[in-house]
Amino acid sequence: MSTTITPLHAFIDALPKVELHVHLVGSASVATVLELARRHPGGPVPTDERELRGFYTFRDFPHFAEVYEAVSSLVRTPDDVATLVLGTARDLAAQNVRYAEITVTPYTHHRAGMAMPAVTEALDRAVEEARERHGVRIAYIFDIPGEFGTEGAAATTEHALRHPPRALVGFGLAGIEQVRPPYRDDFRAAFRAAREAGLRSLPHAGEMTGPETIWEVIEGLGAERIGHGISCVQDPRLVAHLRETRIPLEVCPTSNVCTGQVASLADHPLPRMLEEGLFVTLNTDDPPMFGTTLNGEYRAAAEAFGLGRAELTALARNAVIASSLDGAGKQAVLDEIDALPAA
């Protein structure tokens, strides 16, 4: 990707944005991970910056999952959790991000020995400090790590229902799609309970598996928004359904390349998804691990797919509309976006 600052790049940098698909641990900058690795030495994560950047070179998605788990193991105290949120808010503020929904996997924190109320207190404190220090509104999505099946679903549901952070807005399902049991009653029961409690159904699907996984989360989990969903283009009936229902898709192009889901940006289905009239948003997933930023994703889309101001503005508006902001919050960001071309 070019490093030359063009007028379009300047427009992207100034564009008010919303980030819908970013994982808490995966959002940690190299500096933050080094701090945690040195704070909790003796693990598999390098404490040297050069070695850490090499550590972030992934062979495939399972290898990425191993690296992600290793970094997760460094998050051992509630203060570590709050540090991650505040670091993410700082990085997002520098990109004119007004609001972000951060995906938290509380089960990993439980396994590290943190009590649910302590994790919630840290998340609540971080929301307040993120807005005071950086002017960014933060909300949370709690996701089930699919590989852990019943145990992961039960613990995530208990935390979401009994000790929810004040900014909890959604309930998700992530992990390696090939090994999570798609039709498990415990997943469906967890999502049913979360939805009854007022949380939105926001699972991952169709990232590393085919359209059948997307159908599963729509029909079995009542998905209101789908993480990734890029395999939808393989099924014309699914494309038609997504177009008709306007279910938003959280697309993360650089992530898909880095984890080997697509060979290159040139091979990414994003242009096809836009041509089909699908409700697409641009996101980062795990930005430092993939060497990207939200501004970088907009730049990559512009350069790889020939998107101009109008198309990029539409993507930014889509993210606002698909978000869990209240009506006034959405309108405020939309007004900022709409004012930018005339500024």
Q: How far apart are CA 161 and CA 145, in angstroms?
A: 17
Contact 8, 302 (CB under 8 A): yes
Tokens 């564009």 appear where? 15
| pLDDT over 90 at 288, yes or no | no
- Per-residue confidence (pLDDT) for residue 182, from 0 to 100: 55
- pLDDT by residue (tens digit) across 70-90? 888 889 999 999 999 999 999
Contact 221, 185 (CB under 8 A): no
pTM of the predicted model, to two decimals?
Answer: 0.93
- Per-residue confidence (pLDDT) for residue 1, from 0 to 100: 45
**Mean pLDDT, to the nearest integer, of 146-166?**
94
Q: How far apart are CA 166 and CA 70, in angstroms?
A: 28
Is 207 annotated in the active site? yes
Structural domains for the chain: 7-31+78-342 (3.20.20.140)
The residue type found at 336 is E
Look over the chain and give the mean of its residue pLDDT values, rounded to a whole number.
93
- Per-residue confidence (pLDDT) for residue 183, from 0 to 100: 53
163, 99, 164: which is closest to 135 by C-alpha? 99
- Per-residue confidence (pLDDT) for residue 3, from 0 to 100: 59
Beta strands in 81-152 (DSSP E): 97-104, 137-145
Q: How far apart are CA 302 and CA 316, in angstroms?
A: 13
Percentage of the chain modeled with pLDDT above 70: 97
Catalytic annotation, pick one of 207, 224, 250, 336: 207
- pLDDT by residue (tens digit) across 94-141? 999 999 999 999 999 999 899 999 999 999 999 999 999 999 999 999
- pLDDT by residue (tens digit) across 161-205? 999 999 999 999 998 787 766 557 889 999 999 999 999 999 999
Q: How far apart are CA 141 and CA 151, in angstroms?
A: 18
Beta strands in 29-148 (DSSP E): 97-104, 137-145
Contact 62, 176 (CB under 8 A): yes
